Amino acid sequence: MSRTVLTIDDSRTMREMLRATLSSQGFIVVQAEDGAHGIEVLEGMEVEPDVIITDINMPRKDGFQFIEEVRVDPRRRAIPILVLTTESDAEKKQRARTAGATGWIVKPFDPVKLVDAINRVAA
């Protein structure tokens, strides 16, 4: 069975790179343009995603706010959330962990490592 991944990034280019990479590996990819849109998309999904990948720096609702909002919902506490960002600051990594992030990947991403990380956290 295919795994579903919700990707959230305000960059159209990054969303397309994620879609192309993950679709080619058999993942079902659902996309959102920022954290606020990510919550809307998540609410509208019939089946919970197996993994969520979110950027941090986005308009309307950033990645930290998105993660915190997802983690408040008891139904979604166990969904792995990977942060995919240009940020590498230890303080921001800790803030993401505190919010409920499962892992942290720095852009630009290595497609093989990204797929490995998704498979690892979704197992």
Q: Write the CATH number for 10.
A: 3.40.50.2300
> What residue numbers bound the domain in which 13 lies?
4-109
User: How many domains in the chain?
Assistant: 1
Q: What is the pTM of this model?
A: 0.95
The order of strands in the sheet holding 28-32 is 28-32, 4-8, 51-54, 81-85, 103-106
pLDDT given for residue 45 in this prediction: 94
Residue 117 lies in a domain: no
**In this predicted structure, what is the pLDDT of residue 114?**
95
18 within a domain of the structure (yes/no): yes
Give average pLDDT by consecutive 10-residue segment, the chain, 123 residues.
92 96 96 97 95 95 96 94 91 94 92 94 89
DSSP 100: T
Report if residue 92 sits inside a domain.
yes
Looking at residue 87, its pLDDT comes to: 83
Which pLDDT does position 123 carry in this prediction? Answer: 81
Within a domain: 14:
yes
> Tell me, what's the pLDDT at 88?
84
